[in-house]
Amino acid sequence: MKRTLGFIFAALLAGNAMAFDLTSPDVKMGHPMSEEQEYKGFGCKGGNLSPELNWKGAPAGTLSYAVTVYDPDAPTGSGWWHWVVYDIPASASGLPGGAVVKAALPAGAKQGRNDYGDRNFGGACPPAGDKPHHYIFTVYALKVAKLDVPEDASPALIGFMLHANRIGLAKLTATYSR
């Protein structure tokens, strides 16, 4: 009887546990992104619009969020950071599409430099003819309300602080090629 009750209790808990999840109506897991998310510059002619991102099921104790977009396939030896947004308030449940163009980031959110040298979303721009690149969208649930990084922090330093302060993360990976 004790074993059966324990099994039932564990099953109920598992059924009620909500996983931290990242979704987007603009970018689908494992699918190519549209030209709206392609960079405008460096020979690319896309819309350079950030996709809408939505998350749910953050772990208890989340005090803020951060979002990164990273291409590990970029021919640099170290990948390519396309977007770094941090200090997103815990009350947020996503970012609107075109957030940079619309200046619609949540109050208090900050953008780090991307590898294009800008403080905004920089879309996909893999070399023409290259194999499809993977674009990893990650939302971090953080145990701090604000990251302790200098204003000019590199994406690597911000990434270090994200990993040191994360209590959860959710990912969505899309592809793109030209």
User: Over pLDDT 90: what percentage of the chain?
Assistant: 85
**Per-residue pLDDT tens digits for 107-146:** 999 999 999 999 999 999 999 999 999 999 999 999 999 9
In the chain, what are the domain boundaries? 18-176
What pTM was estimated for this model as a whole? 0.88
Task: Check residues 14 and 145 and name the one with the higher pLDDT.
Answer: 145
pLDDT the model gives residue 20:
97
CATH pick for 18-176 out of 3.60.20.10, 3.10.20.30, 3.40.50.150, 3.90.280.10? 3.90.280.10
* Contacts (Cβ under 8 Å, ≥6 apart) of 172: 22, 23, 24, 27, 29, 53, 136, 137
Confidence band for 149, pLDDT divided at 50, 70 and 90: very high
**Per-residue model confidence (pLDDT) at position 9:** 38
CA distance 109 to 119: 12
